[in-house]
Structure formats: structure tokens, C-alpha cells
Structure 1
Amino acid sequence: MAPRLKVFTWSDGFHAFTVAVSSRPKALEAWGSKQDLFATGLASELSGGPDYEAALAAPGEVIERGLTIDVGKIAKAAKPKKAAGPSKARLAKIEKLQAELEALDVEHQAAQASLADRLKALEDERGERERTHAKRRKTLTAALKAARR
């Protein structure tokens, strides 16, 4: 059993757009609207008139009637344009930037590893100097103590 068709309409102030579909979401999809025109009060269900009859004669097709431009003219509306994906040039630029970002991260990790190695070597050298100093100080302190007696 085919779903019962309802006729919905909305206007941009210049044209009235009418469509016969089974639900509000399908009407919004047919109009190419990303916002809920019913929630804002811009769209409503239609129950009669020439737009109603034209919409029922072409279910799923958006019927456009001029209000201030081409007044009274009723015709099928142009299909809403779907958003095109990024261009090849833009995709190439994105790919290049991603590669540069990955290279930067690898370079940063290598630099961090090098710094960590250098820091460990400095800490080892510091520890060795502390041990050498303590050993020499102990020896000199003992010699000084012996000399004072």
C-alpha cells in the first residue's frame, strides 16, 4: 500500500515551493533545506488550491509558483544543488599538509629523543663529578686534619 501523500508548502517571499510527499522530513529533503522550516513556521501543510493540485499531479517534484517574480506562473522547480566535494587542487593541498604535519611530528620525536640522550649523558657526568669531588674532598680533609695535629 502506497503511503498517503500530503502537500506541503513554503515561501521565500518571491516564490512558493510546494511538494506532495508522505512526510515533513521528505518535504524538507525535496526542498534541499537543512533547517526545519516547519519549526520556524515558514512551511506548512496545504489543503487546496492550484499549487495543491499541481503538486499532487507530480508527487515528489517541487512545484514553484512566482509570487513577486513571474507572478502566478506554476512550474517544476530546479532540483537543489548538492554540495560538491573538495576540488582536486584542494585535496592535493590537504594531502601535502598532512604529509608535512607527519614529517614535523617525526622530526620532533627524533629531537626529543636526542635531547633525552644528551640530558642523560649530562646527568651521568654530573653524578661522576659529584662522586669524584666527594672522594677528593674526603682525602684532602683527612690530609688537612693530619697536618693540623
Structure 2
Amino acid sequence: MAAKLKVFTWSDGFHAFTVATTSRPKALEAWGSRQDLFATGLARPLTGGPDYDAALAAPGEVVARGLAIDVGKIGKAKRVKTRGPSKAKAARIEKLDAALADLDQHHQAALADFETRQAALDAARREAEARYAAERQTLSGDLKAARG
């Protein structure tokens, strides 16, 4: 079953942008917004009117109505092109990703070294405990024989 369409709108002061979609995140995506316009109070659900009808007639398409420019004219909004990060930002992200991977690799190597050293310590402890137990048993036997 397809999700029920809801109509959302927001305005930049010059145009009202309206879209019929299933959720707020999808409306933000259709508008090409990187910020939550609903949280700031700029966007809101719409329940009726000409923008509502135009948006329902073209689900997923952003409908623009002029408020200060082309007043009252309703039509398809120009598609917003969402760009990726700038070259500088992409280079910084790549550098940080590499640094993070390098840090993870060094951490894993350090953990492996700790495990090796801990295994050696455990073996030395077992050996010391065995030596102690053998010497104690010998001395206890000698003490018993001397008392006896």
C-alpha cells in the first residue's frame, strides 16, 4: 500500500514552494534544502488552497507560486541541483578518512602487541607459580621430616 501523500510548503519571501510527498524529509530533499526548514518554522504542512491542489496534481514535483515576483503565477519550480562538497572540502574529507584509517591500524597493532606481551606475562606467572609450588612442597616435606 502506498503511503498517503501530505502537502508541505515554505516561502523565501518571493515565492511559495509547495510539494506533495509522503514525509517531511522527502519534502526537504525535493526542495534541495540542507537545513530543517520545519525546525526553523519556515516550512509547514498545507491543508488546502490552490498550491495544495497544484502539488497534489504533480506528486514529488515542487510547485512555485509568485508572492513578490510573478504574483499569483503557479507553476513548476526550477529543479535545484544539489552539489557535493567543494574540492577543498572533499580533499579534507579524504585526508581525514585516511588519517582515521591509519589511526585504526596503529591501534590494532598496539592491541596485538599488548596481547603478545600479556601472553608472555601469563606464561611467566604460571612458571613462577609452578616453581613456587614445587619448592614449597619440597620444603614442607623437609620440615615435616625434621619435626617428625
Q: TM-score, normalised by structure 1?
A: 0.57
- The corresponding residue for 2:128 is none
Count, aligned residues = 90
Q: How does 1:91-110 map to 2 (within 5 A)?
A: none
Taking the aligned partners of 2:81 and 2:63, their CA distance within structure 1 comes to 16
Displacement of 1:82 after TM fit? 2.0
Distance 1:86 1:41, change over 3 A: closer
CA root-mean-square deviation: 1.7
> Could you list the runs of 4 or more consecutive aligned residues of structure 1 that deviate by over 2 angstroms after TM superposition?
84-87
The unaligned stretches of length 5 or more in structure 2 are 96-148
Note the alpha carbon deviations across 1:125-147, whole angstroms, 9 max, x for none: xxxxxxxxxxxxxxxxxxxxxxx
Query: In the aligned structure 1, how far is the partner of 2:10 from the partner of 2:84?
Result: 25
Q: Which residue of 1 aligns with 2:39?
A: 39
Q: Displacement of 1:86 after TM fit?
A: 5.8
Q: 1:14-93 maps to which residues of 2 (within 5 A)?
A: 14-83=14-83
- Once the 2 structures are TM-superposed, how far is the Cα of residue 81 of structure 1 from its aligned partner? 1.0
Q: Gaps (5+ residues) in structure 1?
A: 99-149
Post-superposition offset of 1:17: 0.1
TM-score calculated relative to the size of structure 2: 0.57
Q: Name which one, 1 or 2, has greater alpha-carbon Rg.
A: 1
Residue of structure 1 equivalent to 2:105:
none
The one-letter amino acid of 2:53's match is E
